[in-house]
């Protein structure tokens, strides 16, 4: 039977104490709503209908930015009158659907695919399935009532339950599957005669179990972890941790070394090759692909990047929207900004920043350097303190450094400018004209040498101690200094 999924996500989630709709809060880096939508798609659901209310546009665009435009249909529930009422809002979308409907919540991100597969596989035109779990602390959930033979009879909400019923610790997860038509037909007639004055989706299960309609209800038991709904930020943090630990387990089973799984922050969908090692506090966001045999050390934050094999990222690097080839060494404390293309065997040392820059094969920039809008050739050596002056306050310009060039320490490259292949820039040079291949570029003001100046100053300041160790001047000597014409001259020249 064909499957449609309805995801209930209209609530604001008051307990989040947030201006943002609950299902937009991230769990393991992804907005909560992505989890049920992703599940529905993984289960082969032909249609995914989200019932939205609060911030419907923001929720829709979050989903579409992940799964593509038109990936979901939206039904609006303007006023939240209960879970059953929410499903009824999808009536128009479900009108022509003669198959099964799977009902998921937008705030239950921990469900595994396998338990949902069992739920869907168990449902048919004559069988409804619902997910339950045994919780040590069932507070807040609807409880599962069974008859003496253990057959499911109905769900009682906490607010409607007696003290005895509240002791039951089998709870309703709120996830169901069954013939769409039966859900809609029943919901149209159940009413809202209950403690909350809502239309309860749970009443559908009670009607089905009541008999006389040729239907059976089967329960599918899930683990306590999986059914957890995220109602406040404490729940979000718990869910976040569970998903991260699951992802760490998956990575380790696939041959990735994880130093401290509790402190690995990865999002679903990252791809990492075997024998790659991830240090504590590593954060991998968005679309990250890392090859084999890499070492990613403590505190590296990598967003939307592709790394080749044997890349060594030293502690505390921040890297985004860039491509890193094989055998590259980066860090510590590098900032690889969007549009960087780092080719094989490049070395980038501490405090190097790149942006929209290609570093050719084997190039090096080992210390304190900014390379923005640059094209750096193979085997180029970029000395300490080099800066591409790529922005004049109006436009960005490019710097080209051709293969094998040697950029001396403290070179400023005033873009647009080209340094030819094999050329050398002397330390401290401001390169504001193109440098031909093989040439030397040098800008360096005349240096003055004043013999004995330092020693004379020391004498003045210390009263003639002359032991080479500068002392804090005593007051009378200070006034003496003012009178000395020789001292003034020397100071000016030095
Ligand atoms: C519901 C179940 C309860 C179950 C619990 C599991 C009913 C009557 N009760 O509780 O048995 O143990 O889920 O979490 O179904 N929503 C809407 N529109 C509404 C109401 C809710 O879209 O009018 C959405 C919420 O945004 C949320 C989900 O439905 O994603 C669940 O709503 P929530 O209020 O948390 O569930 P309860 O009714 O408390
Ligand atoms: Ca809930």
Does residue 462 carry a pLDDT above 70? yes
Residue 139: nearest ligand to its CA? Answer: 1
Give the pLDDT confidence of 116-146 residue by residue, as tens digits.
999 999 999 999 999 999 999 999 999 999 9
Q: 486 falls in which pLDDT band (50, 70, 90)?
A: very low
Residue nearest to atom 32 of ligand 1 (CA): 83
State which ligand 1 atom lies nearest to the alpha carbon of 171.
12
What mean pLDDT, rounded, does the chain reach? Answer: 94
CA 137 / ligand 2 centre spacing (Å): 14
CA 183 / ligand 1 centre spacing (Å): 16
Q: Could you tell which of 53, 174, 235 is best to mutate to test the pocket of ligand 1, judged by most ligand atoms within 8 Å of the CB?
A: 174
Does residue 473 carry a pLDDT above 60? no
Residues 6+ apart with CB under 8 A from 115: 131, 220, 222, 223, 226
Q: What percent of the chain has pLDDT over 90?
A: 91
CA 236 / ligand 2 centre spacing (Å): 12
Annotated catalytic residues are: 367
CA 308 / ligand 1 centre spacing (Å): 45
State which ligand 1 atom lies nearest to the alpha carbon of 200.
8
User: How far apart are alpha carbons 379 and 403 in whole angstroms?
Assistant: 6
**What confidence score (pLDDT) does residue 483 get?**
44
Write b or e for each residue in 103-118: b if 16 or more Cβ atoms lie within 10 A of its Cβ, otherwise e.
bbbbbbbbbeeebbeb
Does residue 481 carry a pLDDT above 90? no
Residue 55: nearest ligand to its CA? Answer: 1
State which ligand 1 atom lies nearest to the alpha carbon of 201.
15
Its pTM stands at 0.88
Residue 107: nearest ligand to its CA? Answer: 1
User: How far apart are alpha carbons 378 and 368 in whole angstroms?
Assistant: 20
List ligand 1's pocket residues with C-beta within 6 A.
8-11, 51, 77, 80-83, 85-86, 105-107, 141-142, 155, 157, 171-174, 200-202, 229
Strand 301-303 vs strand 277-278: parallel, antiparallel, or unpaired? Answer: unpaired
Q: 479 falls in which pLDDT band (50, 70, 90)?
A: very low
User: How far apart are alpha carbons 126 and 178 in whole angstroms?
Assistant: 8
CB atoms within 10 A of CB 428: 16
The token pair that represents 48 in the structure block: 């995914």
Residue 168: nearest ligand to its CA? Answer: 1
Q: Helix, strand, coil % (nearest 5) of the chain?
A: 25, 30, 45
Which pairs count as long-range contacts for 271-279, CB under 8 Å and 24+ apart, including other chains?
A: 273/309, 278/251, 279/315
Q: Could you tell which of 33, 34, 83 is best to mutate to test the pocket of ligand 1, judged by most ligand atoms within 8 Å of the CB?
A: 83
Query: What number of H helices and E strands is found in the chain?
Result: 12, 39
CA 83 / ligand 1 centre spacing (Å): 5
Residue nearest to atom 29 of ligand 1 (CA): 8
The token pair that represents 308 in the structure block: 């080749």
The token pair that represents 86 in the structure block: 């929410």
CA 82 / ligand 1 centre spacing (Å): 7
Instruction: Please report which helix (H) or strand (E) contains residue 453, including its range.
Output: helix 453-462
Residue nearest to atom 11 of ligand 1 (CA): 142
Kindly write down the DSSP assignment for every residue of 341-408, as one continuous string.
EE-TT-EEEEEEEEES-EE-TT-EEEEEEEEESEEE-TT-EE-TT-EEE-B-SS-B--EEE-TT-EE-
Kindly write down the DSSP assignment for every residue of 198-241, as one continuous string.
---THHHHHHHHT-SSS-EEEEEE--TTTT----SHHHHHHHHH
User: How far apart are alpha carbons 376 and 425 in whole angstroms?
Assistant: 14
Q: Which residues pair with 234 in a beta bridge?
A: none
Q: 472 falls in which pLDDT band (50, 70, 90)?
A: low
């Amino acid at each position: 039977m064909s499957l449609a999924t309805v995801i209930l996500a209209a609530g604001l989630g008051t307990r989040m104490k947030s201006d943002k709709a609950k299902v937009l809060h991230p769990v393991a880096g992804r907005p909560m709503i992505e989890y049920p939508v992703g599940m529905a798609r993984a289960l082969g659901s032909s249609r995914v209908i989200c019932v939205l209310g609060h911030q419907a546009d923001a929720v829709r665009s979050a989903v579409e930015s992940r799964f593509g435009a038109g990936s979901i249909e939206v039904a609006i529930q303007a006023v939240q009158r209960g879970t059953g009422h929410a499903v009824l809002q999808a009536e128009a979308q479900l009108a022509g659907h003669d198959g099964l409907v799977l009902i998921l919540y937008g705030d239950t991100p921990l469900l595994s695919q396998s338990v949902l597969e069992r739920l869907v596989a168990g449902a048919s035109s004559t069988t409804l399935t619902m997910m339950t779990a045994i919780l040590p602390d069932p507070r807040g959930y609807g409880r599962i009532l069974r008859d003496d033979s253990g057959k499911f009879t109905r769900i009682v909400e906490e607010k409607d339950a007696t003290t005895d019923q509240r002791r039951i610790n089998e709870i309703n997860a709120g996830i169901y599957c069954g013939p769409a038509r039966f859900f809609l037909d029943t919901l149209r007639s159940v009413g809202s005669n209950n403690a909350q004055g809502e239309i309860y989706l749970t009443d559908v299960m009670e009607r089905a179990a009541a008999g006389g309609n040729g239907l059976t209800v089967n329960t599918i038991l899930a683990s306590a972890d999986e059914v957890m709904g995220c109602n406040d930020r404490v729940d979000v943090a718990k869910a976040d941790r569970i998903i991260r630990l699951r992802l760490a387990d998956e990575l380790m089973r696939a041959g990735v070394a994880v130093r401290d799984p509790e402190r690995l922050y990865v999002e679903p969908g990252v791809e990492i090759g075997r024998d790659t090692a991830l240090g504590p506090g590593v954060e991998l966001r968005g679309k990250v692909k890392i090859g084999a045999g890499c070492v990613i050390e403590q505190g590296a934050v990598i967003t939307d990047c592709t790394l080749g094999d044997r890349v060594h990222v030293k502690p505390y690097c921040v890297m985004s929207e860039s491509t890193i080839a094989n055998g590259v060494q980066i860090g510590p404390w590098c900032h690889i900004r969007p549009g960087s293309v780092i080719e094989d065997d490049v070395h980038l040392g501490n405090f190097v920043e790149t942006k929209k820059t290609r570093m050719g094969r084997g190039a090096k920039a080992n210390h304190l350097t900014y390379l923005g809008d640059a094209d750096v050739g193979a085997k180029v050596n970029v000395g300490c303190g080099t800066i591409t002056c790529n922005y004049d306050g109006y436009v960005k310009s490019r710097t080209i450094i051709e293969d094998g060039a040697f950029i001396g320490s403290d070179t400023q490259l005033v873009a647009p400018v080209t340094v030819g292949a094999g050329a050398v820039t002397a330390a401290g040079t401001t390169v504001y004209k193109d440098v031909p291949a093989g040439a030397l570029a040098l800008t360096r003001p005349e240096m003055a040498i004043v013999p004995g100046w330092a020693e004379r100053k020391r004498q003045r300041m210390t009263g003639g101690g002359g032991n080479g160790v500068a002392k804090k001047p005593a007051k009378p000597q200070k006034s003496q200094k003012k009178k000395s014409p020789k001292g003034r001259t020397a100071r000016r020249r030095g």
